[in-house]
Amino acid sequence: MRLILFVMFSILVLNLSTHASNVEDMAKQNKNNPIYIKAKNFKAYNKKGLYLLSGGVVIKKGDITLKADSAAIFRDKKTNKITRIVCKGNVDITQKNKEAKADEAIYEDGQQRIKLIGSAIVISGKNQMTSEMITYYINKDYAISQSTNPKKQVEITIYPNIKEKK
């Protein structure tokens, strides 16, 4: 479950001026907060290392909230480590003045990346990035945004010299 939080932290700090140290600072601040999970349905397949949540999924930790229609959490059976998290339908991740939305979000631990797929948008303060797909590489602190539709383009709005309040 700690990786769910890291996913939320990472997506929310996706801003062109954000540095990796900010991710670490935010993770430390929320580290000891409990995780609150709410969903209409929960299924645990312990032998498979699979946990399914559906129906108004809400995951909260500290000041971070993840909402989606459904979520699947995959765990390595040998190490017990979460390897992949897939959220589908009306994905919305918020923390203070940061927000990420998409039709689907996929966190992959091995590649240390998060993909926002389908009508992806990341907002940090007034800055905004919109695309069909946004991939954020956590350890490298960079993002790739691309359109899968030849008729659509990536759109980015950056407001210079904005100091965000802490």
Which DSSP string corresponds to 24-82?
HHHHHHHTTSPEEEE-SEEEEETTTTEEEEEEEEEEEETTEEEEEEEEEEEE-TTT--E
Write down the residue that tokens 């498979």 correspond to: 48
Amino acid at 67: K
Per residue in 49-87, pLDDT (tens digit) is 999 999 999 988 788 788 999 999 898 989 888 888 899
Q: Which two tokens stand for residue 13?
A: 């700090």
What are the structural domains of the chain? Answer: 2-157 (2.60.450.10)
Give the least confident one: 71-80, 83-92, 115-124, 146-155.
Answer: 146-155
End-to-end CA separation in angstroms for the chain: 26
Which run of H or E residues covers position 153? none
Q: Is 12 helix (H, G, I), strand (E, B) or coil?
A: helix
- Higher-pLDDT residue of 53, 122: 53
CB 71 within 8 A of CB 41: no
Report the alpha-carbon distance of residue 11 to residue 107 in Å, rounded.
Answer: 10
| Global pTM exceeds 0.75 | no
